[in-house]
């Protein structure tokens, strides 16, 4: 386990939270995506509160996993078959239910599959109150296309609202240190 992921797991332990993940699909996650990626449903639980959202894993992680499948199964005949094996591994061999998040990337033909790390999930979260004016938001993040600006603005506002309900101000400060 690397230092980044250890820091993220220590944060979860310190505040008494856990992350659960469930594989959803292989698809484009963001409107501007040119390639597909693994999309996971993430549930962060703290006390009686929870926040559920979709997480698009990095395309690099997907490509590493496919390379590992090619090594494990040298007789597969094409990308479609490799993707099916990968999806079955991600789902633990079956669909349904959340899997307890252990923070490790798994490569396994036994069905554990690959999951995003705690660091990769937590480092992407909003830790500062976003601009409340869409024009200021667009300037801050360099958006020029109106539809992308509106989508990102609404998503960031929603995420910030969820984070404020899930974590205390002090915990948000600790979360920001992960990044």
Environment class of 117 (CB within 10 Å of its CB; exposed 0-12, middle 13-18, buried 19+): buried
- Residue ranges of domains in the chain: 1-124, 127-179
Q: For the chain, how far is it from start to end, CA to CA, in angstroms?
A: 17
Q: Tokens standing for 126?
A: 């909003």
Enumerate residues 6+ apart whose C-beta is below 8 A from 142. none
Distance CA 134, CA 139 (A): 9
**pLDDT tens, residue order, the chain (179 aa):** 588 888 999 999 999 998 888 878 878 888 788 888 888 888 999 999 999 999 988 777 777 777 776 677 667 666 666 666 666 666 554 333 444 444 433 322 233 346 788 898 999 999 998 888 898 888 888 888 788 888 889 999 999 999 999 999 999 999 999 97
């Amino acid at each position: 386990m690397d230092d980044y992921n250890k820091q993220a797991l220590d944060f979860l332990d310190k505040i008494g939270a856990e992350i659960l993940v469930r594989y959803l699909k292989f698809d484009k996650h963001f409107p501007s995506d040119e390639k597909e990626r693994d999309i996971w449903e993430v549930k962060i639980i703290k006390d009686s509160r929870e926040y559920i959202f979709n997480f698009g894993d990095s395309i690099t992680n997907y490509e590493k996993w496919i390379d590992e499948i090619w090594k494990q199964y040298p007789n597969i005949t094409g990308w479609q078959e490799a993707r099916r094996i990968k999806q079955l591994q991600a789902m633990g061999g079956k669909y349904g239910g959340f899997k307890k998040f252990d923070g490790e990337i798994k490569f396994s033909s036994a069905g554990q599959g690959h999951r995003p790390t705690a660091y990769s999930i937590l480092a992407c979260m909003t830790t500062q109150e976003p601009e409340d004016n869409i024009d200021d938001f667009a300037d801050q993040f360099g958006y020029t296309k109106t539809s992308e600006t509106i989508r990102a603005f609404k998503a960031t506002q929603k995420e910030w609202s969820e984070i404020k309900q899930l974590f205390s101000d002090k915990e948000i400060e600790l979360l920001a240190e992960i990044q």
